[in-house]
Amino acid sequence: MKKVLLSLLVVSSFFKAQTSINVFSQIVFYDGYAANVSQPVPSNTIRLANSRYTRKLTDAELNSFQNKIQMNVTIGALCDNYDRIGGVHIALVPKGQASYTMSDAQVKRFEVGRYITPFMNKNVSPTQVPYSYDVDNLYPVFSNVALRTAYDIWVELDVFGVPYAANTQVAGCAGRNDVFAGTLTFVTFNDPTINNNFNTVMPLLDSSPLNNYNNTDVSGQTVRLVNFNLTQTAANPKFFIVTSPHGAGTNGEEYVRRQNFISLDNTQVLTFMPGGKSCEPYRMYNTQANGIYGSTPKTTAWWTAWNNWCPGDSVPIRSFSVASLSAGNHLLKYEVPDAEFFNQDGQIVLSMYMQSLSQNLSVKDVATTDVSIYPNPTTDYVTVKGQKKVKLMSVLSTDGRKLSETAESWADLTAYPTGTYMLDIILEGGIRFTHKVIKK
Q: Which of 56-65, 215-224, 292-301 has the highest mean pLDDT?
A: 56-65
Q: What is the band of 299 on the pLDDT scale with cuts at 50, 70, 90?
A: very high
pLDDT tens digits for range 233-278 = 888 899 999 999 998 888 889 999 999 999 999 899 999 999 999 9
User: What confidence score (pLDDT) does residue 134 get?
Assistant: 96
8 A C-beta contact, residue 52 and residue 157:
yes
**Which amino acid is residue 72, in one-letter code?**
N
- The pLDDT of 332-344, averaged and rounded, is 87
Cis ω on the peptide bond leading into residue 375 (within 30° of 0)?
A: yes
Choice among 28-32, 194-198, 294-298, 372-376 with the minimum mean pLDDT:
194-198
Q: Is the pLDDT of residue 292 over 50?
A: yes
CA distance 189 to 246: 36
User: What confidence score (pLDDT) does residue 9 get?
Assistant: 47
8 A C-beta contact, residue 312 and residue 278:
no
CA distance 158 to 24: 11
- The pLDDT of 182-202, averaged and rounded, is 89
Q: Is the pLDDT of residue 46 over 90?
A: yes
Which contacts qualify for 387-392: CB closer than 8 Å, 24 or more apart? 388/427, 388/428, 388/429, 388/431, 389/427, 389/428, 390/425, 390/426, 390/427, 390/428, 391/426, 391/427, 391/428, 392/425, 392/426
User: What confidence score (pLDDT) does residue 212 get?
Assistant: 61
**Max CA distance (Å), the chain:** 83
Name the average pLDDT for the chain. Answer: 90
Percent pLDDT > 90 in the chain is 68
User: What confidence score (pLDDT) does residue 181 get?
Assistant: 98
Q: Is the pLDDT of residue 16 over 60?
A: no
User: What confidence score (pLDDT) does residue 12 get?
Assistant: 47
What is the reported pTM? 0.89
CA distance 284 to 411: 53
User: What confidence score (pLDDT) does residue 359 get?
Assistant: 58
Find the distance separating the first CA and the last CA of the chain, reported in whole Å.
75
User: What confidence score (pLDDT) does residue 4 get?
Assistant: 52
CA distance 72 to 380: 53
Q: Is 380 left (phi over 0), alpha (psi -120 to 50) or beta?
A: alpha
